Amino acid sequence: MHDKTLKQLADALAARQISSVELTGLYLDRIKRFDPQLNSFITVTESQALAQAAAADAARAAGKAVALTGVPIAHKDIFCTQGVKTSCASKMLDNFIAPYNATVVEKMNAAGLVMLGKTNMDEFAMGSSNESSFYGPVKNPWNTAFVPGGSSGGSAAAVAARLAPAATGTDTGGSIRQPASLCGITGLKPTYGRVSRWGMIAFASSLDQGGPMAQTAEDAALLLNVMAGFDPKDSTSTHIDVPDYTATLNDSIEGLRIGLPKEFFGEGLDADVEQCVRDAIREYEKLGAKVVEISLPNTHLSIPAYYVVAPAEASSNLSRFDGVRFGYRCNDPENLEALYKRSRGEGFGEEVKRRILIGTYALSAGYYDAYYLKAQKVRRLIKNDFDAAFANVDVIMGPTAPHAGFKLGEKAANPVALYLSDIYTIAVNMAGLPGLSLPAGQSNGLPVGLQIIGKHFAEARLLNVAHRFQQATDWHLQIPAAFA
């Protein structure tokens, strides 16, 4: 059963070939058996999951089942889950039981999905290797010496190893797409404002966006149907209608204009990765698409601008973790200042502290104009690049990451090298666009992802384009041998 897609599981449940309790038990068993090798879960909510599954079965018996009733899923530990530890993979929130549900979780619950547990991640979503977690690194199921990517590394590894049929993730600079690429799954970062941020612990509010991480584009479409939509509790969510993302999956892509940004195929791109991407593009040409070379001239500015904007917002967003109301508090602080300094000094990990310092500096009096304001202007330039490109193409394609992955510890001592590996994903967040990564080949036994970038709110088109590829290829069906 575990080799089935979310869609197939939903069909099996609907056909009563299996109950939700049985299916949930199967995945809980797999987590117990395999997760010690991967460390992809921070919390497994076994008893709640079985209770939710029983309720789903009852709903089905009563004729009240909907599309995904009874299907198990895992949530990145950045989404608040009522009554369940929500840690953001930080010591700071190791003791934090969320008193409410994120809108994404609430919608999943309402749609009858069963939560298996909370997945590991980089601390406060800051990282690209899942090595900054307080709960230890996640391993890549394809080769456990390698990182799974990050920050949604736990979700990606869990889905790749089929410890969960699908999971939620969040993406601030590539945190859904890059681990999806490294673990060989399909991950979608929707348009900024498409999915509610209520209850999603904020890293960089103007960039953060939740989205589905799944085996196939079709599964991602089913999940986005549940996740997307305006939320009165999130002022930055949009009022645009949510289409049925599964309805257009099989639309023809004959005549699709694919833009290939020359900046995505330059220095620093691994040769194997480039080959996989070019092969995938050829596959699209076979399906009737046309390739247009385009330019996104300000791509090289996206990382420096991102590392001003994101840490600036983070430095402010993470101020609430002060040891006063919830989360970690140091022992016996001698006064208020010590309470702050020690609680934060002891509660946050190195990468989080580094980014708070960068952000605090960038917003300081006398530096604001030179850094934050300048970065916002760069952001505008990046957006203009995409707007100009989309005047002539329907989607943009390229690699998701410059490499197929790297070993645990390889870049741990060099944060800048790690930052640079997000070169192809960050600009998409800066422009607020939707982006998707799907498996498109392998390099030395590690998956390689193809990134597809769309126009604002063109998620349906992205999923359609990805689905057509998956109808013609089988990279998305590969399961790492050790977990098959």
Partner 1 sequence: MQWEAVIGLEVHVQLSTQSKIFSGSANKFGAEPNTQASLIDLGMPGVLPVLNEDAVQKAIKFGLGINADIAPRSVFARKNYFYPDLPKGYQISQFELPVVGKGFIDITLDDGSTKRIGVTRAHLEEDAGKSLHEDFHGMSGIDLNRAGTPLLEIVSEPDMRSAEEAVAYLKAIHSIIRYLDISDGNMAEGSMRCDCNVSVRLKGEEKFGTRREVKNVNSFRFVEKAIKTEIQWQIDELESGRKIQQCTVLYDPAKNETRAMRSKEEANDYRYFPDPDLLPLEVSEDMINRVRAHLPELPAQKIERFMGELELSDYDARVLVADRAVADYFEQVVAESGAKPKMAANWVSVELLGALNKNDLSIEQSPVSATQLAGLIKRIVDNTISGKIAKQVFEELWASGGTADSIIDSKGLKQETDTGAIETIVDQVIASSPDQVAQYLAADEGKRKKLVGYFVGQIMKLSKGKANPQMVNDILARKLV
Catalytic residues: 76, 151, 175
**Residues in 117-146 at the binding interface with partner 1, rule: CB under 8 A:** none
- Contact with partner 1 (CB under 8 A): which of 8, 48, 144, 206? 206
Q: Does 236 bind partner 1 (CB under 8 A)?
A: yes
Q: Does 343 bind partner 1 (CB under 8 A)?
A: no
- Contact with partner 1 (CB under 8 A): which of 182, 201, 223, 412? 201
- Amino acid of residue 480: P
- Contact with partner 1 (CB under 8 A): which of 47, 62, 63, 232? 232
Residues 6+ apart with CB under 8 A from 395: 256, 257, 258, 259, 452, 453, 454, 458, 461, 462, 465
Q: Does 42 bind partner 1 (CB under 8 A)?
A: no
- Partnered with residue 336 across adjacent β-strands are none
Collapsed DSSP state (helix, strand, coil) of residue 46: helix
Q: How many residues bind partner 1 (CB under 8 A)?
A: 44
Residue among 134, 239, 119 at smallest CA distance from 191? 239
CB of 120 to partner 1, least distance (A): 17
- Contact with partner 1 (CB under 8 A): which of 365, 391, 416, 481? 365
Residue among 174, 180, 181 at smallest CA distance from 209? 174
Q: Does 195 bind partner 1 (CB under 8 A)?
A: no
CA distance linking residue 179 with residue 217, whole number of Å: 16
Q: Of the listed pieces 12-20, 30-38, 203-211, 399-407, which binds partner 1 according to CB under 8 A? A: 203-211
Q: Does 357 bind partner 1 (CB under 8 A)?
A: no
CA distance linking residue 348 with residue 353, whole number of Å: 6
Q: Does 325 bind partner 1 (CB under 8 A)?
A: yes
Q: Does 295 bind partner 1 (CB under 8 A)?
A: no
Q: Does 84 bind partner 1 (CB under 8 A)?
A: no
| CB 294 within 8 Å of CB 392 | yes
CB of 390 to partner 1, least distance (A): 23
| DSSP assigned state of 319 | G
CB of 365 to partner 1, least distance (A): 5
CA distance linking residue 100 with residue 105, whole number of Å: 10
Q: Does 315 bind partner 1 (CB under 8 A)?
A: yes
Residue among 209, 234, 211, 202 at smallest CA distance from 318? 202
- Cα–Cα distances (Å) from 414 to 111, 133, 176, 395, in that order, read 43, 17, 22, 34
**C-alpha torsion sign, points 264, 267, 269, 275:** positive
Q: Does 99 bind partner 1 (CB under 8 A)?
A: yes
CB of 79 to partner 1, least distance (A): 8
Displacement of CA 115 from its chain's centroid (Å): 17
Nearer to partner 1, 199 or 449 (CB): 199
Q: Of the listed pieces 5-13, 48-56, 78-86, 170-178, which binds partner 1 according to CB under 8 A? A: 78-86
Nearer to partner 1, 239 or 286 (CB): 239
CA distance linking residue 136 with residue 35, whole number of Å: 13
Q: Does 249 bind partner 1 (CB under 8 A)?
A: no
Residues 6+ apart with CB under 8 A from 22: none
CB of 246 to partner 1, least distance (A): 29
Burial pattern 18-48, b for ≥16 Cβ within 10 A else e, equals: bbbbebbbebbebbeebbeebbbbbbbbeeb
| CB 178 within 8 Å of CB 150 | yes
Q: Is the backbone peptide bond immediately before 151 cis, with ω within 30 degrees of 0?
A: yes
CA distance linking residue 198 with residue 179, whole number of Å: 23
Task: Determine phi and psi for 229, rounding to 5 degrees.
Answer: 135, 160
Q: Does 230 bind partner 1 (CB under 8 A)?
A: no
CA distance linking residue 466 with residue 471, whole number of Å: 9
CB of 324 to partner 1, least distance (A): 5
Q: Does 340 bind partner 1 (CB under 8 A)?
A: yes
CA distance linking residue 166 with residue 72, whole number of Å: 8
Nearer to partner 1, 102 or 260 (CB): 102
Q: Does 313 bind partner 1 (CB under 8 A)?
A: yes
Nearer to partner 1, 81 or 186 (CB): 81
| DSSP assigned state of 123 | G
Q: Does 53 bind partner 1 (CB under 8 A)?
A: no
Q: Does 199 bind partner 1 (CB under 8 A)?
A: yes
CB of 140 to partner 1, least distance (A): 28
Q: Does 82 bind partner 1 (CB under 8 A)?
A: no
Q: Does 372 bind partner 1 (CB under 8 A)?
A: yes
Q: Tell me the two tokens of residue 59.
A: 């709903």
Nearer to partner 1, 93 or 213 (CB): 93
- Contact with partner 1 (CB under 8 A): which of 110, 247, 324, 370? 324
Residues that bind partner 1 (CB under 8 A): 79-80, 86, 88, 93, 96, 98-100, 102, 197-202, 204-206, 232-236, 312-313, 315-316, 318-322, 324-326, 336, 340, 360, 363-365, 368, 372
